[in-house]
Amino acid sequence: MKTLRFDRRSIMRGVLRGGAAVALGIPTLDMFLDGNGAALANGRPMPVRFGTYFWGLGLTDTPQGTRWVPTKTGHGYEITPELESIRALKDKVSVFSGFRAIGDGKPNLVHWSGLAAIASGSAPGATNTMDSPSFDTIVADAIGQSTRFRSLDMSASGKPLSNSTYTGKAFATPEVSPLALYERLFGDGFQDPNNPDWKPDSRVMLRQSVLSAVKDQRDALAADVGKADRIKLDQYYTSVREMEKQLALQLEKPEYNAACLIPEKPEADKRGASIEVVNENSKTMARLLAMALVCNQTRVFNFVHTAGASETYLAGDSKIYHQYSHDEPTDAKLGYQINTSRLAGAVMQGFGDFLTELDAVEEGDRTVLDNSIIMAYSDTGYAKIHSLENIPMLLAGGAGGRHKAGQHIHTTGEPVTRVSLTAMQLAGAPVGEFGMGAMKTSSAVTEVLA
């Protein structure tokens, strides 16, 4: 066989049956650089879904008192002012207070350290990166292999924020509007499981054949590189093979599912940082997500309501949430920042509406929310001082009966990773420990595990 040589401009080329030409790019390798660089109808159990829900600026927890932490622990906790939005679903939501992100000597990277600690299990060394993949990728490895989308990322604020899936190298790009989300889920590529005239999409068949068409060149390239580049190529081909698996699923006739109904297409997008607009987008996107879960488009998702340094504002107001959290004085009589707390309640209304939409869709004798576990969390405890103590975290949904929901769990300084580990186990991921350094833990919150 003729020896093949590659440079950074090389493209592997092949020919499919029928004569169609295909091309596959090559990742940047060291060899190119200079060294500086319940139950379904078929009897199977109803699948459990896993999601994350992030909002910025925490909740109000001042030295003078808290606006969100219940006084009672265990079942029957009271609804506090900033948790009012979950009142109707209280028995399906567990509240976790007193947990903290531990820095292991690293600085507090404001609006980032807490988020990264919860999602990746370790204190980050730099803003907008994590030292390990986000925990949703672990869950996706366990339960996300048999759906069209291994995981799905969404952002209601209209911005491609970076608090989404982190693979260890890059963040996923989320859908940033209801209309874009609809097109992604139910537009081109969606297969209606109830369509009697179903047939495989020829475009999918073509895409699936690309790797096999360039197999000889792949083998030649692997023999032509050093150890570091072989590792890079293996990672690259692994991601491509994962894509092929997803494509293969689209070539199989989906199982009949009477509950899968294509939702109405949203009207023109509404953009803006007004909390009313963001909450409306959250509600619409939740409605689309609920049906996407029913239609088995995905089982893992990440939802970003607002960024850590939230720019949301109340209509007619002159200051954004982030500015209020720093500038607004604490009311001497009430003991908290009045406008900041009002905004916190409005932000949490978005979360309550999100859960309500998932709970409105029935699956047998349960709802989509009952068959899901959603971990909601923020980046900070008390935003005025960027506290990493008492970061608010909640677990919502029944996890298919695994979650003993409706509890308030309080600790004093335990690592936030205990809640992350608990969420992964509730989702069915075979994880025994999570985190690094002082936040490494094998101790799930057993009180909420059925």
Per-residue pLDDT tens digits for 143-174:
998 898 999 999 998 877 656 788 888 888 89
Judge contact between 364 and 413, C-beta under 8 A.
no
Low-confidence ranges of the chain (pLDDT < 70): 1-44, 161-163, 198-216, 218, 231, 235-254
- Return phi, psi of residue 407, to 5°: -120, 155
Per-residue tokens: 413: 């300084």
Q: Which pLDDT does position 284 carry in this prediction?
A: 97
The reported pTM is: 0.83
Could you give the C-alpha distances from 116 to 128, 162, 382, 448, in angstroms and in order?
9, 11, 17, 24
DSSP notation for 126-195: STT--SS--HHHHHHHHH-TTSSSS-EEEETTSS--S-S-B-SS-B---B-SHHHHHHHHHSTT---TT-
Q: Which pLDDT does position 34 carry in this prediction?
A: 45
Q: What spatial distance separates the first Cα and last Cα of the chain, rounded to whole Å?
A: 60
Quick count: other Cβ atoms within 10 Å of Cβ 160?
A: 15
